[in-house]
A and B are shown apart, each in its own frame.
Chain A
Amino acid sequence: MSGGLPCSAALVAAASGLSASPGATVIGMAVPGVPYNTLVVACGVAAVGCAAGVVGSLALLRKRPLVGDAAAHATLAGVAGAFLLTGRRDLVSLLTGALVAALVGLGALVLVRRVTRTRDDAATAIVIGGGFGLGIALVSGITARGIPGGGGLEHFLLGHAAALTADDARLLMAVSAAAIALVVLALKEFTLVAFDASFAAATGWPVVLLDQALVTLVAVMVVVGLPAAGAVLVTALIVIPPVAARQWTDRVGTLVALAGGCGAAAALAGVIVTSTRPGLPTGPVIVLAAACFCLVSVVASPRRGWLGRTLRNAAERRAWAAGLLLDTCLRASERGDGTFTVADVTDGRTARAAWRMLEHEGLVERLHGRTADGSVPRDAWRLSGRGLDRARQRRRRAADWAAAFDRAPAAARERFSLELPECAIATDADATRAT
């Protein structure tokens, strides 16, 4: 494994595209027009992004998204420690050190929780702070003392994807593939424990062992994510893609696949953007790309998204208002000669919007010609034939409901909770039922 990660020559070469070697197949593929180094980096980083999303999905489902953060912040100390102990600075040695430190950090997390009876979030903060402080102190010390070969360790702070060699990329791909394979193999078991740990335990599954396996997988993904995103940002690769994916699906399998795809896409986007804009750091751009996917998902996904929910709520409220106004119209028309004015039945802004809906649907109609006493009122309306049918139907149903509630309140509530009353606009009612 030659060529260290923080190698300025490689960085310059990658940034300027000078190292493009047409036809090179060191990683088994070549894309015309793409600098070789960019391709290497893209493959390695995309694999890591994909696996981080896949493993992160399980961490999210198990409600432990931040466990990776404790591991991540401990890794820097491991990188520095590995360098000080072995004097080597190849990726395998440094990442091995990082993995050991990550697992020690997770052990410390369990210990802090148990011994001090500190809550989860506070314990995580303690481990993050302690581990990170140690890591920064070690790296600064190495740099300040000018220990030979010690320069560039600080790149593990924010990641330095451009410096990846073909061998490095192969390592990242192999580890990522193994992590994904493990998740796919034990998806049934991980899902069971994440959904209902006590049922899993009651039926004989080793919950603690499966949790430890999951946490270890997270630690491994944090470590191989270091070259891409660095200790500070790597958690984002674990947490953000699953959150984005969750917006689009209600199936665990689809969630895992989408999160993997989102992670890979964000990683590719980051590499492509930074390879064409020298000077931009890869890690932060990858995380920004993932955050963009997440933002779009949280806003725009049809079922869980903010936009869809807001529109549906508004449609439901409009349908309610229109239905209630129709009731009012029926009562008003029964009081007199079957006609009423807009002012008789509407009161306030919502009611006027609902009135426009009734008018648009042709449920109310303006009276033409004379009334019984021979005068022609300027603003006289009545329910149309269809409007009258609809209003009477609503009244019958309301009576049915009231009777059902009197008989058995709980059962009645259950039966009716998913249905709005016969809405003025059918599509709104359908949208309600669909949710």
Chain B
Amino acid sequence: MTDSATPSAAGDRPVPLVEFHDVTVAYGRRPVLWNVDLVIDAPCLFGIIGPNGAGKSTLLKAALGLVPLVGGRVRFAGEPLARARHTIGYVPQRESVDWDFPVSAFDVVLMGTYGRLGWFRRPGPAERASARDCLARVGLADVADRQIGRLSGGQQQRVFLARALAQEAAIYLLDEPMAGVDARSQEQIFDVLASLRAAGRLVVVVHHDLRTAAEWFDRVALIDMRLVAAGPTATVLTPDNLRRTYSGQVELLREVGLAVAERGRTS
């Protein structure tokens, strides 16, 4: 499991791909994340699961420096964010942008290449080819020139995913990529994520749907302001852990319990 992780300069112990150390975020006096300690060693499909308002998205934003930490630190393969940015791909929530903006799907995907282009340089043939390729990988080659507002919700989400692919990153952070997305797009997105894992990338997904979480992710972290549990999906999604994360949502828990049990039998 740890063979593909980058070896540290100090010794033979591999450096974790992502390391949250006592991460604390607060809005005013209200803590959103409190002393979250989370280590992701190796490439896999990693789900961050928790109820609404649990701080899942905030955890990604904190990792990317989009919200300030009041305490703790985040390291990517042992490096601070400033030196690791080019290795991180990001898919924000779909609601975070104005889809009436005058750009095509292709233009948006091209933005994924801006990071390595640097100041004032325009995308050239190589970047354009890469953007076309990424659009094709999410199944949107035929709507490349369409204004983004004329895409369906699932297509818009896949455009965001294609933009992250164009970043050619080692670590992908996705914020609710399955929210409000039709089943077909969900499958397509999941296939792309699985192919990234197969290519040795780490894919961290903030996810709200417990039912699909059980079948999609290799490892998960349960979060409700604090880290409740983290590790292989089957050992983490236990009734006890879920009860501690989702206090009160009993019916939901029962269904998920069944789904997990079923997965345990089949695998």
A375 beta carbon closer than 8 Å to chain B: no
Q: Is the CB of B66 within 8 A of A252?
A: no
Decide yes or no: A202 and B96 within 8 Å by CB, A191-B103, A250-B102, A414-B152 being known contacts.
no
**B89 to A: closest C-beta gap in Å:** 9
Q: Is B85 an interface residue (CB 8 A)?
A: yes
Q: What are the interface flags for B84-97 relative to A under an 8 Å C-beta threshold, 1 for contact and 0 otherwise?
A: 01101010100011
Query: Which of A194, A408, A411, A414 is the one whose CB lies under 8 Å from B101?
Result: A194
Within residues 14 to 55 of chain B, which ones have a CB less than 8 A from any CB in chain A?
Answer: none
- A258 → B minimal CB distance (Å): 11
Give the bracket for the number of chain B residues in contact with chain A: 35 or more
Residues B86-129 near A (CB distance < 8 A): 86, 88, 90, 92, 96-98, 101-104, 107-108, 111, 114-115, 117, 119-123
Residues of chain A lying within 8 A (CB to CB) of residue B97: 195-196
Most buried by B among A198, A203, A410, A413: A203
| Nearest chain B CB to A144 CB, angstrom units | 48
Contact B90 A202 (CB under 8 A): yes
A242 to B147, CA, bound (A): 18
The yes or no answer to B64 lying at the interface (CB within 8 A) is yes
Which residues of A, 365-424, contact B by the 8 Å Cβ criterion?
408, 410-411, 413-414, 417-418
Option from A188, A204, A251 in Cβ contact (under 8 Å) with B85 = A204
Residues in B with CB closer than 8 Å to A252 are: 102-103, 107
Contacts of A411 in B (CB 8 A): 182-184
Question: Which of A186, A204, A414, A418 contacts B184 (CB under 8 A)?
Answer: A414
A195 near B103 (CB under 8 angstroms)?
A: yes
Q: Which residues of the other chain, A, contact B85 by a CB distance below 8 angstroms?
A: 202-204
**Which residue of chain A has its CB nearest to the CB of B60?**
A202
Complexed CA–CA distance, A101 and B66 (Å): 32
Whether B111 and A199, one on each chain, are in contact in the complex, defined by CB atoms closer than 8 angstroms, is yes
Q: Is the CB of B119 within 8 A of A189?
A: yes
Q: Which residues of A contact B121 (CB under 8 A)?
A: 188
A185-B120, A201-B65 given; A251·B102 CB < 8 A:
yes
Distance A250 CA – B154 CA, assembled complex (angstroms): 21
* CA distance in complex: A383, B114 (Å): 60
Q: CA separation between A203 and B91, bound complex, in Å?
A: 11
Interface readout for A208-229 with B: 1 if CB under 8 Å, 0 if not? 0000000000000000000000
Distance to closest chain A CB from B172 (angstroms):
12
Contacts of A417 in B (CB 8 A): 152
The CA of A246 and the CA of B149, in the complex, are separated in Å by 14
A91: Cβ under 8 A from any B Cβ = no
B15 to chain A, nearest CB (A): 22
Contact present for B115 and A188 (CB under 8 Å):
no
A408-B183, A413-B182 as given contacts; A203 in contact with B115, CB under 8 Å: yes
B101 touches A199 (CB 8 A): no
Q: Once the chains are docked, how many angstroms separate the CA of A199 from the CA of B150?
A: 21
Shortest Cβ distance from A201 into B: residue:
B66
Q: A246 touching B102 by the CB < 8 A rule?
A: yes
Most buried by B among A188, A408, A417: A188
Q: Is B167 an interface residue (CB 8 A)?
A: yes
Within 8 A of A (CB), among B160-190: 163, 167, 182-185
- Is A61 interfacial (CB-CB < 8 Å)? yes
Given contacts A188-B122, A195-B108, A196-B111, contact A202 B66 (CB under 8 A): yes
Among B61, B82, B120, contact of A188 (Cβ-Cβ < 8 Å): B120
- Which single residue of chain A is at the shortest CB-CB distance from B96? A198
B119 — which chain A residues lie within 8 A by C-beta?
186, 189
Verify if A435 is at the interface (C-beta below 8 Å from B). yes
Complex-state Cα separation, A171 to B65, whole angstroms: 43
The residue from B90, B98, B107, B120 contacting A203, defined by CB atoms under 8 A apart: B90
The 8 A CB mask of B139-164 against A (1 = contact, 0 = none) is 00000000100101010000000010
Q: When the two chains form the complex, which single residue of A194, A196, A203 contacts B96, counting CB atoms closer than 8 Å?
A: A196
Q: Nearest Cβ in chain A — how far from B114, in angstroms?
A: 6
Within 8 Å CB of B115, what residues of A?
Answer: 203-204
Whether A255 sits at the interface, judged by CB under 8 Å, is: yes
Given A201-B66, A411-B183, A255 and B111 touching (CB < 8 A)?
no
Whether A192 lies near B92 (C-beta < 8 A) is: no
Instruction: Select one of A186, A196, A413 contacting B92, CB under 8 A.
Output: A196
Q: How far is the CA of A198 from the CA of B117 in the complex (A)?
A: 18
The residue on A at minimum CB distance from B115 is A203
Determine whether the beta carbon of A203 is less than 8 Å from that of B114.
yes
Is A63's beta carbon under 8 Å from chain B? Answer: yes
| A249 sits at the interface (CB 8 A) | yes
CA distance A417 to B123 in the complex (A): 34
| With contact pairs A246-B102, A435-B150 given, residues A202 and B184 touching in the complex (Cβ less than 8 Å) | no
Contact A414 B96 (CB under 8 A): no
Say whether B120 contacts A186, CB under 8 Å: yes
Q: Which residues of A contact B163 (CB under 8 A)?
A: 199
Known: A192-B111, A250-B147. A199 touches B102 (CB 8 A): no
* Chain B residues closer than 8 Å to A189, beta-carbon distance: 114, 119-120
Contact (Cβ within 8 A) B65 A251: no
Shortest distance between the CB of B56 and any CB in chain A (Å): 16
* Bound: A196/B115 CA distance, A: 14
Asked if A198 and B66 make an inter-chain contact with CB atoms under 8 angstroms apart, the answer reads: yes
Q: In the complex, what residue of chain B is closest to A303 when comparing beta carbons?
A: B147
Q: With a CB–CB cut-off of 8 A, which chain B residues contact A418?
A: 152
User: Once bound together, how far apart are the Cα atoms of A418 and B146, in whole Å?
Assistant: 14
Quick check: B88 and A202 within 8 Å, CB to CB? yes
B64 touches which of A61, A196, A202, A435 (Cβ 8 Å)? A202
Residues in B whose Cβ lies below 8 Å from that of A435: 150
Query: What are 12 sample pairs from A and B whose C-beta atoms fall under 8 A apart?
Result: A61-B102, A189-B119, A195-B98, A195-B101, A195-B111, A196-B96, A201-B64, A204-B86, A249-B102, A250-B104, A252-B102, A417-B152
Q: A408-B184, A418-B152 are in contact. List 16 more A-B contacts (CB 8 A).
A: A61-B101, A192-B111, A192-B114, A196-B111, A199-B90, A199-B92, A201-B64, A201-B65, A202-B64, A202-B66, A202-B85, A204-B86, A255-B102, A408-B183, A411-B182, A411-B183
